[in-house]
Chain A
Amino acid sequence: GAVVSQHPSRVICKSGTSVKIECRSLDFQATTMFWYRQFPKQSLMLMATSNEGSKATYEQGVEKDKFLINHASLTLSTLTVTSAHPEDSSFYICSARVAGAYEQYFGPGTRLTVT
C-alpha cells in the first residue's frame, strides 16, 4: 500500500517551453502533497505544499508563477514548470500524506533536463 507514482520519469524540453509533471497517490487519498527539488548530490529542498482544493503554499524563494502547482483531486497533483530554462534542470520528487497522519510517501521522482 501507500504507493505514489510520478509521470514522466524523465523529460527533456527546450528552453522556453513548459512541462507538466504528475504526481498520483495510487491506493490512498492524499489530502496534502509536497513537491521537492533535488540538485545532483544534494538534499531535497521543499518547494511547496499543496492541500486538495486549495492554493499551494510556496517556500521562500520559490517562484509561484514559474512553478505552478495544482492539486485538484485527492489523488492527483501536478507541477508545471513554465518557460523552463537550463537552470530549472533538476530532479523533482513529490510526496503525499493522508489527513491526520504525519508520514509522507514519496514518488520515484522526475528528471527534468532543459536544453
Chain B
Amino acid sequence: AQSVTQLGSHVSVSEGALVLLRCNYSSSVPPYLFWYVQYPNQGLQLLLKYTSAATLVKGINGFEAEFKKSETSFHLTKPSAHMSDAAEYFCAVMDPVGYSTLTFGKGTMLLVSP
C-alpha cells in the first residue's frame, strides 16, 4: 500500500517569503507523485507532477518540487509567496503500474500574511 505524509497541517509565511510544504511518501515501487491546490469550496487543481522523468519538476504559479528517492520526499517550494497562494495543498501518490488510484495526504493549509 502507498501513503503520503504531509508534515504540518498549517504553514504560515509572510508575503514574499519562501514557501516550503513537506511531503514524504511510502511506496514499494517508484511512484508517481502529485501536488494539488484547493481553494475554499472548490475542486482540486493540479500544480505539478512527477512521473519518473526529471526529478526537479516545475509547475504552475511559480511552484516547483524535487523528487528525492533517498529521502522519499517530494517537497513543494515557491521562492516568493503571494497572498493569492493562500489555500489548501495536497500531496498525492499513485502506483504507476496499471494507473491505479490516487492516495492523498491530509493536506497543508498555507496562510500568507501581508
Which residues of A are interface residues toward B (Cβ below 8 A)?
A: 4, 6, 34, 41-44, 46, 49, 91, 93, 95, 97, 100-104, 106-109, 111
User: Whole-angstrom distance between the alpha carbons of A93 and B99 in the complex?
Assistant: 20
**B interface majority secondary structure:** strand
A43 pairs with B96, CB closer than 8 A:
no
B99 pairs with A107, CB closer than 8 A:
no
A102 pairs with B51, CB closer than 8 A:
yes
Classify chain B: how many residues form its interface, as a range: 20 to 34
Which of A42, A43, A111 interacts with B41 by CB under 8 Å? A111
Residue of B nearest to A108 (CB): B43
Residues of B within 8 A of A42 (CB): 106-107
With A97-B99, A102-B96 in contact, is A43–B105 under 8 Å at CB? yes
Residue of B nearest to A99 (CB): B99
A109 pairs with B101, CB closer than 8 A:
no
Which of B41, B94, B101, B107 interacts with A49 by CB under 8 Å? B101
Which of B42, B45, B90 interacts with A43 by CB under 8 Å? B90
With A43-B106, A102-B51 in contact, is A93–B44 under 8 Å at CB? yes
CB distance from A7 to the nearest CB of B (A): 13
User: Whole-angstrom distance between the alpha carbons of A104 and B106 in the complex?
Assistant: 18
B41 pairs with A109, CB closer than 8 A:
yes
B90 pairs with A101, CB closer than 8 A:
no
A43 pairs with B107, CB closer than 8 A:
yes
Residues of A within 8 A of B51 (CB): 102
